[in-house]
Structures are given as structure tokens and as C-alpha cells.
């Protein structure tokens, strides 16, 4: 595992339990986004890439979707399995998904690409494109902006060693289009969410 992936996994292992206790459910306030994803999802399961403690995974499953949650952090996956024992959670990286080509109907990357180095995001987008079925959709959530910060602790003061990269919608759209995606308009206002079709 490359150093940045090891750092992300280590950091979120350290905070997994406190993160689940402290962070507000990311699905709160997202009915428009997730309902839209459910209506557009193609044939095949939905991937929650960077699923953390599994709350987004569970919210998607409540909409009748067959969802797989993947996260780099074994600690986060342990919490996700504890809190949502009926769902499918796996340790893995969005830069090298253990899934066959054209296996998925949709992917949600909900504030999870933010820790990848900027020059690695195209690798993740290429993987997303590979595993999506033609016509499948990719929904991204991200921190809007252009700066990057280094986070050394969080969620109760536990040690972390990660970078948080903010993105503009045009910059991410450019990378997604280069990977083969087509922008799809959202029917609600959001500067920190994007939707694409394969």
C-alpha cells in the first residue's frame, strides 16, 4: 500500500469509533441527492466508495438499492458492520477496486476523494469508469474550494495524518470528462456535489 493510502487507513482506524459517535449522519439533508441517484441507477449494485461507518450505505439501501460499502480503513469497516450487520462492507481502495468491469449501476463517492492526492484522483475516476456499466452514474460529494490542509488530529483529538483537498466543480468535471464521463445536471442547487454518467 502506498504511503498516502496507509496514512488514510491508519488515520481513520484511529478515529473510527469516535467518528461514528460525533459526526452527524451524512445522509441528513440529502434526500434529493440520494433519491435522484436511486432513480438514475443502472443495472447492478451501487458502490459507496469511502463508506466510513456505513451511514450513507444504509441510506441508499433504504431506497431499495443493492449497495456495497468499501473503505480503506479496517476500523471503519468494523464499525460499519457493527452498526449495519445486514449490509455488505469490504476493505478496499477506490484506486484499485476489487470488482469486475461494468459490474455496477452507480457509484457514490461522498466526501471521500478529498484525501487522495490531486494527481491520484484521475486514477480513482478511471476505476469508477471501469467498474460502472454503460449508462451508470457517478455522484460525487466534495469540499468546495481550492486549498489543501494537513490534518494531524480529529474527532476527539485522536492522531491523524491526512491531507484534505478542496475542489472546484469545474476542476473535477474536467478530470471526470477526461476519464470518459458525461456531466449530468442536478435538479437542485449544490456547489459541492456533481453527477456524471458513464
pLDDT higher than 80, residue 27: no
**More confident site: 26 or 157:** 157
Query: Which of 34-43, 169-178, 185-194: highest mean pLDDT?
Result: 169-178
pLDDT higher than 90, residue 168: yes
* Domain CATH code at residue 58: 3.40.50.150
Entry pTM: 0.93
Q: How far apart are CA 180 and CA 173, in angstroms?
A: 11
- What is the structure's pLDDT at 162? 95
CB atoms within 10 A of CB 30: 19
- What is the structure's pLDDT at 73? 97
Per the structure, the count of domains in the chain is 1
- What is the structure's pLDDT at 26? 53
- What is the structure's pLDDT at 54? 94
Average pLDDT of the residues in 48-76: 95
The residues with which 48 forms a beta bridge, in sequence order, are: 69, 108
Which residues form the domain of 185?
3-197
Amino acid at each position: 500500500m502506498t504511503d498516502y493510502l496507509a496514512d488514510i487507513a491508519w488515520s481513520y482506524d484511529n478515529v473510527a469509533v469516535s467518528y461514528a459517535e460525533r459526526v452527524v449522519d451524512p445522509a441528513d439533508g440529502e434526500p434529493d441527492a440520494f433519491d435522484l441517484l436511486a432513480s438514475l441507477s443502472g443495472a447492478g449494485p451501487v458502490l459507496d466508495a469511502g463508506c466510513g461507518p456505513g451511514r450513507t450505505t444504509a441510506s441508499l439501501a433504504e431506497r431499495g438499492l443493492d449497495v456495497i460499502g468499501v473503505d480503506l480503513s479496517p476500523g471503519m469497516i468494523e464499525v460499519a458492520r457493527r452498526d449495519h450487520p445486514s449490509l455488505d462492507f469490504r476493505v478496499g481502495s477506490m484506486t484499485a477496486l476489487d470488482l469486475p468491469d461494468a459490474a455496477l449501476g452507480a457509484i457514490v463517492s461522498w466526501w471521500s476523494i478529498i484525501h487522495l492526492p490531486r494527481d491520484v484522483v484521475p486514477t480513482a475516476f478511471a476505476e469508477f469508469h471501469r467498474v460502472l456499466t454503460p449508462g451508470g452514474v457517478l455522484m460525487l460529494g466534495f469540499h468546495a474550494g481550492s486549498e489543501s490542509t494537513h490534518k494531524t488530529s480529529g474527532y476527539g483529538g485522536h492522531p491523524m495524518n491526512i491531507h484534505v483537498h478542496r475542489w472546484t466543480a469545474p476542476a473535477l468535471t474536467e478530470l471526470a470528462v477526461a476519464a470518459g464521463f458525461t456531466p449530468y445536471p442536478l435538479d437542485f442547487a449544490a456547489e459541492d456535489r456533481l453527477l456524471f454518467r458513464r
